[in-house]
Structure formats: C-alpha cells, structure tokens
C-alpha cells in the first residue's frame, strides 16, 4: 500500500515500487473536509493521485479519516494554542493518522508493507532499524517522522530516501507523471492562506487580547490575541520603536501576559522537556539537536527533562518537537530520540 | 478483470439493450438541431416529442409537463431554484433528501423535516413543521430514499401539505423510485417530479423534470428558450430517445420485476444473517413487495467493521457495492440520512448498501453470499479496519 497524496513525491514513490515489481495499491487519505488552499487534501489532489495510479496501472482507493483527524490533530492543535503552546500538527498527523490509523487499516486489509514518498531513509544499524536523514538536505523529513519506531520501520518502504528532489522531479517528468511540476504543499492543510490561523482559531476558541510586558513587568505593548503569540516573535506586539529589537520570551495565556526581552534574554542554556523518548539505548553524551522541520542543528546533551545546550541556544516554544541525531558509522545521521518542549523555566 | 458481482444499481444501473439500440439509431438518424425549421430538424423534433410522450405516459402525466434535463440533479435544482425564483417563500424538505435537493434548499435558507426510525417522513412531523413555518412556497419530499430504500407515503404527505400550506407547491425527487413504485398513482397530487435515465437502464446525462403546466418556474439555464422556456440548450435527442426506451421497459415490466428483485434481496439478507448473525443489522426490514421499502435496496450496518475497509476487500473480490453516497473525492462520507434516522454514528461506520437491479440474478446473490460473510469475518478478526 502506497500513500499517495497527489504530490510528485508519492507519485514517484509509487512508480518506483511498481517498476521494482511490487504488487501496489495506491491510497489517498481524506482528512479534512473544510476549506483548504494550501495544496493538501483537496479534491484536485485526490484526482491527481487517482490519475497517477491509473497511469501506473494500479488500483487507487480513498479513505476518509476525517473523524480521526479532527480528534487527533485538529482538536489538540486548537487546545494547544489555547494554552499558549505552538503545536506541530504535521507531526501529530504522522503519529496518529499516517503511521497509526492507516497502518491499522493496512493490517486489516492484509498489507504487509506500506510505503510513502517521504524524504528519509530506513537505516539498518548494529542496534536495529533507524530512521536516517533523506539524501536531499533541503527536503529531509526525518524531523517530522522522528516518532517512527522499529516496528513501523520494519514494514515501511521509503523509496525516495536516497534521492534529491531534483532527481524525483526529473524521474516524474521522464515517466510522464502529471504531478512532475506540481508545486510543493505548504503550511497547515486545514488552515487556508486566505483566512489564516487567527480566523480558524477564532471560530473554535475565544481569542483574548493580551498585555505585553518587559522582564520588569512594565507594560510596553499589546497583542490582539494572546493565543496567537509564539516564543521568539518580535513583530505585531504593539511595541514602540527606538529600542533594540525585543522578542517574546514567555507567553502566559492564563493571565494573558506576553513577556518580551532583548536578544540576550532569548538565549538560554537549557530547554525544558515534557516528554522524551530514545529510539534505542539512551545517549549519554552530546547529540545533534534540531528544533524545527528544516531548522539549524545545535549540539546538546539530553538529560531526562531538559536539553542542555553546548552553547547558548534560542528559546524553543512549548509544544514544539525536538529531535536528536547521531552519526551512524555506515548510515550517516540517524534519529536517536525525540520529545516535546515544556513551557516555563527548567527546574 | 475478475468476474463482477454488481450490487450498486442504486448508484447507476447498466444500460438496457433497448436503450442502447435506441440511442445508436437516434444518433445515426438525427443529425439536425430539433429546434430548426427544415425537414431534418422536424424529424429530430418528432423523435424528441415521441420520447416526451413515452415519459409522460410512464408517469401518467401530460406530455407538456416534461422538461428534459441532464439528469436528476439538474431536475432537482431546476425544481427548487426555479420555483423559489418565481415565487417568494420558504422551501421545506426532509432531512433525508439527496444532496441535489438538500443543498439548494439549505442554500435558500429552507427548513428540514426529520425522519422517523424507518427513514420516512411522517404526516405528523410534516404537519408540525408546516404549522410552525410561515409562507411555505415549496415542499420537497423524496419518493424513495437513495441510501436506505425507504418509501415515503407521498399521497398522505401531499394531503398534509394541501391542508397546512395550501399555497405551497410539492416536488418529489423520484430518481430512485421509477423502478419500484407506481409513480402515476403515488405522484398524482405532486406538482413537480424529478427522474433520471441512468437509474433505469438509460444513459447517464439524461433525465427530466415534470412540471405541472400551471406552475410558474424560472428557467435556471437561459438561452434559446427551449423546453417551453423552462430549460435552454439544444435538446439531446438521442439521450431522450434512449431514456424513453429505458423507462418504457422499466415501467412495463415493473410489477413482475419488483417481486423478482424483492425475492433476491430477501435471500441476500437471509443469507447474510444466517452467516453473520447479530453482526448484521438491517437498517430497514422490507419483505417481498412492501409499501415502505423499495425492493432493490438492501441497506444494513455491519457491527464492528469499517465500511471503507469492507468495500476495499469486496472490490478486490469482485463485489461492487457502496456505503451510502460517495463524496466528490470518492471517499465515503458519514451519512446524513442515517444520522437523521437516529442510527448510532459508530454503527453507521459499518454502513453497507447492496442494491439490485434489472441485471441482477440468483448467481449474483450466491456469489455475494460466498464473498461478503468471509470478508466481514476476516476484517473483524483483524480489528475491523
């Protein structure tokens, strides 16, 4: 079973598996019934997936997991914002929909193996299967897939792992796939560019104005909705000019107070964690740590409830995922652990 | 392709040989535009009007009432939007309507009447709504529900409308009904009736709205004033001819066919229950010829399995069926009809519609009984999908 989103990556993944002789069925998940203009989950994408499947001579099915998506992704996303957190719904969709709900469906239908068009590699290491970075550094998706454990990796195929995006597009064009030049999907699929996050959240939770204070508690600005503010933000805070840039260093939705500080205050020695899971044996020493999908990598040591940075590190918003990598002697960078950032200071 | 057991006649039924032959002959013969003035045009016009006579006869209405459309959805939209454009007032429909009625009614700010647990609109429920809504101009009630096969008692419901909202027009979406119900009798007091060709063995893209001549209706497609100003556009002569051949065959053989199909449906349900026991929950219990449930639709819920997963397995083994109505992406949407009947949403996830039609045979039932129970058991053993 190949998950086909209707984009170029999963189209090529399906094509490669057909070419290598697998008995392939294409599946597109319908997750979101509301408006979308970000290039994800739209009927036109289902049509593209279906037409690519037709071209490849494989069956194509659409599964409606709208209820699961609402419960596992959308509602937690809204609740996280209400609590002043900055969630990553794509990670939750991977965790709960693509690599849980759909895998259970695949089990029920008798599919031993599932494939996707993600840019990441499955690396056999001495300690077992691990998730490795994709060959294309600009497109690597190991961060959003970091939660995949060995039981999933053992039945998963990621045929695009060794390829660059340019190679994928070239192959799609050579195969005459209609998705060869399709733009990338971007942003959160259930929030339209036209309406934006504020409109979406405002339809589901009350958005409350917040006071912006400095570290001494002096009111220096205001925001229209405290639920929309994230750590590190420095615009749309209603601040008077003429000072050095100031950044959000804390959001307290309960009291509707946003605290700002100068650049130095944005940097911290350790980031608190509310959860952490090592892929295999815990790594005691330094690891390479990434805090956003295509963000920079920094060195740090993961202690049970915090990441202690080798050099001062920019604050990470609570709710964001942190992923640790190590270098496998044969397989390059592999995921060794991941967790979620907690709010508040380290203890 | 594997041998196919086609149990999705309510979605679309195979084109009858008489309709196909009539279509082929008409496209070969009638090359002219039927609205023209020359002999070739008149010949085409004659074929179109002969088809009109056949449709009218099948529903026991005057030929002047027939407005050819591109199918059921266009007929429903023309009925609702056309009436509301011509006269002020509120539209009322049942909560179990096909989306081709529900959406135009909701779009116009209309009101819905709930269903009972047998999927029907009761006179009491309709009376309640009509008594509470002022200035009702149109009431639209489906004749046979496309998901469950529930048959509304249109004469009784029409009586309620005439008493409670004397100024209102009545429309029925009879798209699913022609094969199972005597519409001449059932729609005698109905002002507008929608039908479609492809549920009868005619081609997709054909259909008609019957409109009582006295009804004011604003055309929704403007142009050359065809169909007595009610629907512009060059008429599809061959489509109309084929649709007429299909409806003639359908109505002519209906009484015997209802008994034949009902017997197949009963055997299918009995077999499924014998094999699966309480796992099978029939949504409606029609037996033989039944005034409340159409013979061709067997709707049931399978406890503990997900319809999408079941349909996947059935498709792989050659059984073509559906859960309810499909949304535009091809995914299965939760059914608004089952929700309106009060069917539990979890049970409804196992919703399966097996629908029979003119090509259905004993062998189809045998084949289905050989495949469906095994697929359900397999799926249930693996977590239900």
pLDDT in tens, B266-309: 999 999 999 999 999 999 988 878 889 999 999 999 999 999 99
A46–chain B Cβ distance below 8 A for any pair? yes
* SS3 state at B178: coil
Q: Which of A108, A110, A111, A112 has the most B C-beta neighbours within 10 Å, making it the best mutation to test the interface with B?
A: A108
Residues of chain A with pLDDT under 50: none
pLDDT in tens, A10-64: 999 999 999 999 999 999 999 987 766 655 556 678 999 999 999 999 999 999 9
Q: Which of B28, B31, B62, B68 is nearest to B48 (CA)?
A: B68
Domain ranges of chain A: 2-174, 206-264, 268-341
Residue B381: band (very low, low, confident or very high) from pLDDT cuts 50, 70, 90:
very high
The whole-angstrom separation of Cα B356 and Cα B260 is 10
pLDDT at A38: 57
Q: Do A46 and B312 touch (CB under 8 A)?
A: no
Eight-state DSSP code of residue B30:
-
Mean pLDDT of B361-372: 98
CATH for A268-341, options being 3.90.79.10, 3.40.50.12780, 2.40.30.10, 3.40.50.2000: 2.40.30.10
pLDDT at B328: 57
| Six token digits for residue B331 | 């995914």
Which chain B residues are closer than 8 Å to A64 by Cβ? 308, 327, 331-333
Mean pLDDT of B222-244: 97
Q: Do A50 and B328 touch (CB under 8 A)?
A: no
CB pairs under 8 A between A and B: 49
B2–chain A Cβ distance below 8 A for any pair? no
A62–chain B Cβ distance below 8 A for any pair? yes
Q: Which of A159, A224, A171, A231 is nearest to A197 (CA)?
A: A224
Q: What angle do CA B268, B270, B276 make, to 5 degrees?
A: 100
The whole-angstrom separation of Cα A202 and Cα A206 is 6
Say yes or no: do domains A206-264 and A268-341 share a fold: no
Residue B257: band (very low, low, confident or very high) from pLDDT cuts 50, 70, 90:
very high
Residue for token pair 């490795």: A132
CATH for A206-264, options being 2.30.30.280, 3.40.50.620, 2.40.10.480, 1.10.287.130: 2.30.30.280
Would residue B201 be called left, alpha or beta, if left means φ above 0 and alpha means ψ between -120 and 50 degrees? Answer: left
Q: Are A172 and A159 in contact (CB under 8 A)?
A: no
- Please give the CATH number for the structural domain made up of A2-174: 3.40.50.620
Q: Are B65 and B210 in contact (CB under 8 A)?
A: yes
The count of C-alpha atoms lying within 13 angstroms of the C-alpha of A84, restricted to the half-sphere facing its C-beta, is 20
Residue for token pair 């060195």: A299
Domain ranges of chain B: 5-14+254-381, 17-252
What backbone torsions phi and psi does residue A175 show, to the nearest 5 degrees? -80, -5
For residue B261, the distance in angstroms to the closest alpha carbon of chain A comes to 30
DSSP per-residue letters across B314-360: HHHTTEE-BSS-B-TTSPBPPPHHHHHHT--HHHHTTEEEEE--TT-
pLDDT at B326: 60
Which chain A residues are closer than 8 Å to B309 by Cβ? 105, 108-109
List the helix and strand counts (H, then E) for chain B.
13, 12
pLDDT at B228: 95
pLDDT at A163: 97
CATH class for the region spanning B17-252? alpha beta
pLDDT at A330: 86
Considering the candidates A40, A41, A90, A93, report the single residue annotated as catalytic: A93
| Six token digits for residue A206 | 């009350």
pLDDT at A280: 93
pLDDT at B28: 97
Three-state secondary structure of chain A: CEECCCCHHHHHHHHHHHHCCCCCEEEEEECCCCCCCCCCCCHHHHHHHHHHHHHHCCEEEEEECHHHHHHHHHHHHHHHHHCCCCCCHHHHHHHHHHHHHHHHHHHHHCCCCEECCCCEEEEEECCEEEEEECCCCCCCCCHHHCCCCHHHHCCEECCCCCCCHHHHHHHHHHCCCCCCCCCCCCCCCCCCCCCHHHHHHHCCCCCCCEEEECCCCCEEEEECCHHHCCCCCCCCCCCCCCCCCEEEEEEECCCCEEEEEEHHHHEEEEEEEEEEEECCCCCCCCEEEECCCCCCEEEEEEECCEEEEEEEEECCCCCCEEEEEEEECCCEEEEEEEEEECCCCCC
Whole-angstrom Cα Rg for chain B: 21
- Does the complex come out with an ipTM higher than 0.90? no
A34–chain B Cβ distance below 8 A for any pair? no
- Nearest residue of B to residue A106, measured between CA atoms: B385
pLDDT at B333: 72
Would residue B283 be called left, alpha or beta, if left means φ above 0 and alpha means ψ between -120 and 50 degrees? Answer: alpha
Q: Does domain B5-14+254-381 have CATH number 3.90.1150.10?
A: yes
Mean pLDDT of B34-48: 96
Among B306, B312, B334, whose Cβ lies nearest the Cβ of A61? Answer: B312
* SS3 state at B311: helix
pLDDT at A159: 98
Which chain B residues are closer than 8 Å to A30 by Cβ? 327, 329, 331
pLDDT in tens, B1-19: 568 999 999 999 999 999 9
For residue B302, the distance in angstroms to the closest alpha carbon of chain A comes to 15
For residue A98, the distance in angstroms to the closest alpha carbon of chain B comes to 14
Q: pTM (2 decimals)?
A: 0.90
Q: Do B312 and A104 touch (CB under 8 A)?
A: no
- The terminus-to-terminus CA distance of chain A in angstroms comes to 46
For residue A24, the distance in angstroms to the closest alpha carbon of chain B comes to 13
Asked whether the predicted pLDDT for residue B329 surpasses 90, the reply is: no
Q: Do A67 and B334 touch (CB under 8 A)?
A: yes
pLDDT at B325: 65
Q: What is the mean pLDDT of chain B?
A: 95
Residue B180: band (very low, low, confident or very high) from pLDDT cuts 50, 70, 90:
very high
Mean pLDDT of B133-137: 96
């Amino acid at each position: 079973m190949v998950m086909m989103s209707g984009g170029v990556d999963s189209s090529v993944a399906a094509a490669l598996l057909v070419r290598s002789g697998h008995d392939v069925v294409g599946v597109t998940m319908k997750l979101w019934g509301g408006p979308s203009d970000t290039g994800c989950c739209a009927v036109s994408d289902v049509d593209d997936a279906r037409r690519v499947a037709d071209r490849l001579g494989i069956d194509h099915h659409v599964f409606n997991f709208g209820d699961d998506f609402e419960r596992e992704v959308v509602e937690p996303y809204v609740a996280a914002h209400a609590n002043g957190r900055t969630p990553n719904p794509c990670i939750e969709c991977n965790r709960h929909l693509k690599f849980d709900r759909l895998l259970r469906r695949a089990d029920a239908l008798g599919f031993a193996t599932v494939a996707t068009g993600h840019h990441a590699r499955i690396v056999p290491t001495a300690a077992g299967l691990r998730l490795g970075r994709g060959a294309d550094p600009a497109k690597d998706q190991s961060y959003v897939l970091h939660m995949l454990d060995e039981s999933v990796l053992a039945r998963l195929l990621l045929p695009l792992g060794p390829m660059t995006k340019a190679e994928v597009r070239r192959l799609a064009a050579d195969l005459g796939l209609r998705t060869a030049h399709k733009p990338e999907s971007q942003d959160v699929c259930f929030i339209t560019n036209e309406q934006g996050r504020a409109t979406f959240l405002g339809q589901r939770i009350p958005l409350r104005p917040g006071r912006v204070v400095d570290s001494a508690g002096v009111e220096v600005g205001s925001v229209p909705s405290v639920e929309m503010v994230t750590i590190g933000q420095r615009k749309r805070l209603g601040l008077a000019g003429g000072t050095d840039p100031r950044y959000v260093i804390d959001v307290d939705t309960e009291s509707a107070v946003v605290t700002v500080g100068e650049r130095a205050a944005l940097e911290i020695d350790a980031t608190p964690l509310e959860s952490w899971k090592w892929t295999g044996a815990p790594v005691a020493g330094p690891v390479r740590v990434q805090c956003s999908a295509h963000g920079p990598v920094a060195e740090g040591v993961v202690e049970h409830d915090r990441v202690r940075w080798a050099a001062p590190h920019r604050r990470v918003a609570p709710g964001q995922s942190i992923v640790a990598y190590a270098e496998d002697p044969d397989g390059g960078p592999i995921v060794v652990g991941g967790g979620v950032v907690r709010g508040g200071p380290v203890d | 392709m594997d041998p196919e057991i086609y149990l999705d006649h309510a979605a679309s039924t195979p084109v009858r040989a008489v309709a196909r032959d009539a279509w082929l002959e008409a496209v070969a013969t009638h090359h002219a535009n039927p609205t023209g003035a020359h002999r070739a045009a008149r010949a085409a016009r004659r074929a179109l009007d002969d088809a009109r006579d056949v449709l009218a006869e099948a529903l026991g209405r005057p030929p002047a009432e027939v407005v050819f459309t591109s199918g059921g959805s266009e007929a429903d939209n023309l009925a609702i939007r056309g009436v509301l454009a011509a006269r002020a007032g509120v539209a009322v429909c049942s909560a179990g309507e096909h989306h081709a009625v529900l959406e135009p009614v909701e779009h116009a700010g209309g009101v819905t009447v709930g269903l009972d647990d047998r999927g029907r609109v009761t006179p009491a429920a309709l009376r309640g709504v009509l008594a509470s809504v002022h200035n009702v101009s149109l009431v639209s009630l489906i004749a046979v529900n496309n998901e469950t096969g529930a048959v509304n008692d249109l004469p009784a419901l029409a009586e309620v409308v005439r008493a409670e909202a004397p100024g209102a027009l009545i429309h029925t979406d009879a798209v699913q009904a022609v094969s199972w119900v005597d519409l001449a009798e059932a729609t005698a007091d109905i002002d507008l009736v929608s039908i479609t060709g492809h549920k009868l063995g005619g081609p997709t893209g054909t259909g008609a709205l019957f409109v009582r001549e006295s009804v004011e209706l604003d055309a929704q497609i403007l142009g050359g004033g065809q169909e007595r100003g009610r629907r512009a556009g060059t008429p599809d002569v061959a489509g109309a001819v084929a649709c007429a051949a299909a409806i003639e065959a359908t109505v002519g053989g209906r009484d015997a066919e209802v008994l034949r199909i009902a017997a197949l449906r009963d055997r299918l349900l009995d077999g499924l229950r014998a094999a699966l026991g309480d796992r099978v929950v029939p949504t409606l219990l029609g037996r033989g010829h039944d005034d409340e449930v159409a013979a061709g639709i067997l709707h049931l819920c399978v406890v503990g399995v997900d319809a999408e997963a079941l349909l996947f397995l059935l498709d792989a083994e050659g059984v073509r069926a559906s859960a309810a109505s499909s949304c535009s992406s091809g995914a299965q949407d939760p059914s608004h009809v089952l929700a309106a009947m009060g069917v539990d949403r979890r049970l409804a996830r196992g919703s399966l519609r097996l629908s029979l039609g003119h090509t259905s045979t004993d062998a189809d039932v045998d084949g289905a009984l050989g495949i469906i129970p095994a697929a359900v058991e397999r799926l249930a053993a693996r977590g239900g999908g």
